[in-house]
Each structure stands twice: as structure tokens, then as C-alpha cells.
């Protein structure tokens, strides 16, 4: 008799992944609206850059606290709490006329966004087997890119036709629907009740008979032995009162593989994040001279390229565990070289070179997911949420610094508003990316060697 494969893990993952896609829509809602936001609020380039920078500061700053709360309270509540915070933020953004209220809105969006991705990633090992995790992780990233695609063109079109307020309230309406769906479906692990079941004090047959792909308890992480280091006695202790962020971070950062994962995430995704979150449309329209419609089309191409890359990199990173770090490393070098080609090209770069950039640069997003696989291989299960949050700060620290520096360099050149944008000013501004690539690549090479020696010393193999 054939055993039926469980469907519930895919349903739970599907709702969680959609919640992540909605978080991406909220995060990137200004990606194609930079000039519109400048006109709506009457602000310069540095102030415009402040919106995503403050949002990302909140996002990155909350990764470790959210990771601790995630280990304590579970993914379900954190995903739903994040959804509510983003609903509040976008409602404020829809109705704000003052820049200070708009900044408050981005703070709320950043806080909600901070709760979502690492919670979704924490959910996966509870429902899927280890061998499935790299592919499911990339599928999660791909689903998030669908949200990025929505924020690039449809949202901009909605705001242009229905107005600023109605456009953002449309995002709020989608968020409300997904939050309700999450209350009905999301479970931390097989056997856990949904929020709706807890409210109505019921226990459905579906919940009682739930099982995942990893066995009766569906905890793929249980199959992965924690690293045999001095951390193990610490992991077994009863946590002291208080969150004890710095102590936990220090214990994790003693493991070379965790540091390696941090630098992998620091280095590969920031160029694509910067381009899609804020400066892509101004560069293509105000710098290169494309029409807004052509710029939106190229940004959509960027997102599609990232989605395709996610489908390919998942199985590759799962099969070639020993080479996954160097896959990330090579992709980052390709991004840097292509950007340098754009910045050093005499005159306006040809369309084929722009298309090459917009096909290669978004590979950094799926490549950054390798960082979470590296982190999972080296982080004890009881620290899983904290470790994911710690690694996830890397790319967003780089992103927020580069976004802010580009705005500052544009303003220093007197090119801080749409009417003053120029290709030369953007070329100078985008050069601020180069030191971040060089630092990141150097640290990856350094930590990869240390991780290899550490694993050989402890007799560890990648899993």
C-alpha cells in the first residue's frame, strides 16, 4: 500500500511564503516611486534615501531581538505580528502628508519586515527533511521575488492611476487578507494549533494528524548534529532572564562557519537591493536617459532573472555542498565586474551592457540564500532563529550604508533632485559599492579557510 505524502507542509509553507512576498511588496514599495515620493513630499535625494535607510536600520537592528523572540515564541506568531506592523505602517504612509509621519511609516514597515523572513526560514526545518531545505529555501526566495515584481511595475501603475493614498491602501488590503489566512493555516510544527484554533479553543483533525516530511516530529534540524564546540554546554543551560543579545551573539560568532555565513550575506545581495529598493529607477531614467516605462520593464527583467536563478541555485547548492561558498563568491565577482563595466564605460553604456547588468546583478539575491544554508550547517538548533537573524543583518547593513552613501554623494555633486540627475553623478555615486565588495570578498576568503580548518579539527562534514 502506497503511503500518501503529506500535503499540509506545502500548504503551511505556501501561506508563509506568500506572507514573505507581501513583506517584500511592503519593503520595496518605494522602489519605483522614488521620483513620485520626492514630488509628493517635496524632498531631496538625501531625504529620499533616508526612507529606506531608516527602514533598513530598523530591519537590521531587530534581526537579533526577533531571532531571540522567534526561538522563544515560534514562527507563527512572529509572522502574524510582522504582518500587523506592516499594515499599520502602510496605512500611515497612505495618509501621511508630512515627512516625519512617512518616516514613522517606514519604521513600522521595517519592524514588521524584520519579523517575517527569518520566521519563515525557521519554519522550514519543522516541516521538511534536510535534503529538501536548500530547494525549499530557494523557492521561498523566489516567491519573495514575486512580491518584488509587484512592487516594481503594478504598484507604480496603481499609484499613478489611483493616487498615492489609494495605491498604498491597496497594499494594506492585500496584507489584511494574508494575515487572516495566516491565522487559519500557519502552525509552528506538526501538531501545533493555528491562531484561529487557539482563539476558538478547538483542535481540528487536520492538526492532530499533521506530519511533515522529516518524520513524525518533522524536525529536520534534529537530524543535524550541532557542532562539537565549547558552545554545547551553553546551549543546554536554562536561559537567564532577559534577552542577553550580546552574549548570545558572541557565542555564535565564535564559530567560523557562522561568521562565514554573515559575510556571504553581507557581500552578495546589496547591489541588487540598492538598485531595486531605491536607486534603480533614478539611475535608469535620470542617468541613462530611459523612459519611465522602459526603466520599469528593465527592473521587471531584473526580478525575473532573480527568480530563475533561485530555481537553478537551489538544486545546485544542495548537490555541491563543498562548493556552495565559492558559487556565492564567483557570483559576487561577476556582479562587481559588470558594474565596473557600466561605471567605466566612456559615454552612455550600450543597452546590451545594461541588460547584462540587470541579468547578472540579481543573481546576488539567490546567492545570498546560500548563507543561510551555511549558517544552518554550523548553528545549534536551539539557536536557529537567533543565528538566522544574525546572518540576515549582513546584507542589510551593507544595503542601508550604500543607499545612504549614494544619496549623500549625489547631493555633494549638486545632483540630488530629479531635474539635476546626470550619468556622471550617478557613476561617481555608485562607486561607493566597490569598497563593500572588496571587504566582503576578502572576509569570505579568510573565513572560508578558517571554517575548513575548524571542521577538519572537529571531524565535521557538511550536511
pLDDT on residue 72: 83
- The per-residue pLDDT for range 9-44, each reduced to its tens digit, is 899 999 999 999 999 888 887 776 777 787 778 877
Reduced to 3 states (helix: H, G, I; strand: E, B; else coil), residue 215 is: strand
Q: How far apart are CA 277 and CA 201, in angstroms?
A: 42
- Predicted TM-score of the model (pTM): 0.70
Does pLDDT of 416 surpass 70? yes
Is residue 201 over pLDDT 90?
no
Structural contact between residues 313 and 327, judged by C-beta atoms closer than 8 angstroms? yes
Residues 6+ apart with CB under 8 A from 171: 25, 26, 29, 90, 155
Q: How far apart are CA 117 and CA 131, in angstroms?
A: 21
- Given a cut of 70, whether residue 218 has pLDDT beyond it is no
Among residues 386, 443, 394, 367, the alpha carbon closest in space to that of 60 is found at 394
Mean pLDDT to the nearest integer, 426-443: 95
pLDDT of residue 343: 92
Percent of the chain with pLDDT over 90: 27
Mean pLDDT confidence for 172-192: 92
CB 79 within 8 A of CB 119: yes
For residue 420, what pLDDT band results from cuts at 50, 70 and 90? confident
* Residue 84 confidence (pLDDT): 95
pLDDT band at 133 (very low <50, low <70, confident <90, very high): confident
Q: What is the pLDDT of residue 36?
A: 77
Poorest-confidence range of 90-104, 115-129, 203-217? 203-217
Q: Report pLDDT for 433.
A: 96
- Given a cut of 90, is residue 296 above it in pLDDT? no
Model pLDDT, residue 2: 47
| Structure confidence at residue 231 (pLDDT) | 35
Does residue 141 surpass a pLDDT of 60? yes
pLDDT in tens, 229-259: 333 333 334 344 444 666 767 777 788 888 8
Q: Domains plus CATH for the chain?
A: 8-221+246-458 (1.20.1250.20)
Mean pLDDT of the chain: 82
C-alpha span between 134 and 266 (Å, rounded): 19
Amino acid at each position: 500500500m502506497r503511503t500518501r505524502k503529506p500535503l499540509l507542509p506545502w500548504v503551511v509553507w505556501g501561506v508563509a511564503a506568500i506572507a514573505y512576498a507581501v513583506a517584500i511588496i511592503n519593503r520595496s514599495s518605494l522602489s519605483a516611486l522614488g521620483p513620485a515620493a520626492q514630488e509628493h513630499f517635496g524632498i531631496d535625494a538625501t531625504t529620499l534615501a533616508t526612507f529606506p535607510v531608516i527602514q533598513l536600520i530598523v530591519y537590521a537592528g531587530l534581526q537579533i531581538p526577533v531571532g531571540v523572540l522567534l526561538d522563544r515564541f515560534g514562527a507563527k506568531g512572529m509572522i502574524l505580528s510582522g504582518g500587523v506592523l506592516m499594515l499599520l505602517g502602510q496605512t500611515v504612509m497612505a495618509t501621511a502628508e508630512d515627512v516625519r509621519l512617512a518616516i514613522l511609516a517606514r519604521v513600522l514597515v521595517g519592524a514588521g519586515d524584520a519579523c517575517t523572513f527569518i520566521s519563515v526560514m525557521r519554519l522550514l526545518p519543522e516541516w521538511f527533511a534536510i535534503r529538501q531545505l536548500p530547494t525549499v529555501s530557494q523557492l521561498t526566495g523566489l516567491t519573495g521575488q514575486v512580491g518584488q515584481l509587484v512592487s516594481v511595475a503594478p504598484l507604480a501603475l496603481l499609484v499613478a492611476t489611483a493616487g498615492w493614498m489609494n495605491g498604498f491602501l491597496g497594499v494594506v488590503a492585500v496584507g489584511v487578507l494574508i494575515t487572516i489566512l495566516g491565522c487559519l493555516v500557519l502552525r509552528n510544527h506538526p501538531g501545533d494549533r493555528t491562531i484561529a484554533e487557539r482563539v476558538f479553543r478547538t483542535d481540528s483533525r487536520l492538526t492532530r494528524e499533521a506530519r511533515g516530511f522529516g518524520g513524525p516530529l518533522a524536525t529536520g534540524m534534529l537530524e543535524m548534529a550541532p557542532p562539537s564546540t565549547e558552545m554545547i554546554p551553553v546551549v543546554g543551560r536554562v536561559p537567564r532572564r532577559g534577552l542577553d543579545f550580546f552574549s548570545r551573539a558572541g557565542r555564535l560568532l565564535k564559530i567560523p562557519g557562522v561568521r562565514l555565513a554573515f559575510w556571504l550575506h553581507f557581500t552578495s545581495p546589496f547591489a541588487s537591493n540598492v538598485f531595486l529598493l531605491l536607486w534603480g529607477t533614478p539611475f535608469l531614467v535620470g542617468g541613462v536617459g530611459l523612459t519611465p516605462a522602459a526603466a520599469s520593464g528593465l527592473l521587471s527583467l531584473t526580478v525575473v532573472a532573480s527568480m530563475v536563478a533561485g530555481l537553478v541555485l537551489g538544486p545546485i547548492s544542495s548537490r555541491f555542498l563543498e562548493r556552495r561558498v565559492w558559487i556565492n563568491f564567483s557570483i559576487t565577482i561577476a556582479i562587481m565586474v559588470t558594474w565596473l563595466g557600466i561605471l567605466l564605460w566612456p559615454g552612455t553604456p550600450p543597452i546590451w551592457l545594461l541588460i547584462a547588468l540587470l541579468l547578472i546583478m540579481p543573481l546576488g539575491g539567490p546567492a545570498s540564500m546560500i548563507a543561510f544554508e551555511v549558517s544552518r550547517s554550523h548553528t545549534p538548533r536551539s539557536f536557529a532563529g537567533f543565528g538566522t537573524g544574525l546572518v540576515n543583518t549582513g546584507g542589510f547593513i551593507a544595503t542601508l550604508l550604500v543607499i545612504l552613501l549614494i544619496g549623500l554623494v549625489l547631493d555633494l555633486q549638486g545632483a540630488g533632485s530629479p531635474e539635476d540627475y546626470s550619468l556622471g553623478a550617478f557613476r561617481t555615486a555608485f562607486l561607493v559599492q566597490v569598497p563593500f565588495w572588496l571587504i566582503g570578498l576578502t572576509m569570505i576568503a579568510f573565513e572560508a579557510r578558517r571554517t575548513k580548518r575548524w571542521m577538519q579539527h572537529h571531524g565535521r562534514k557538511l550536511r
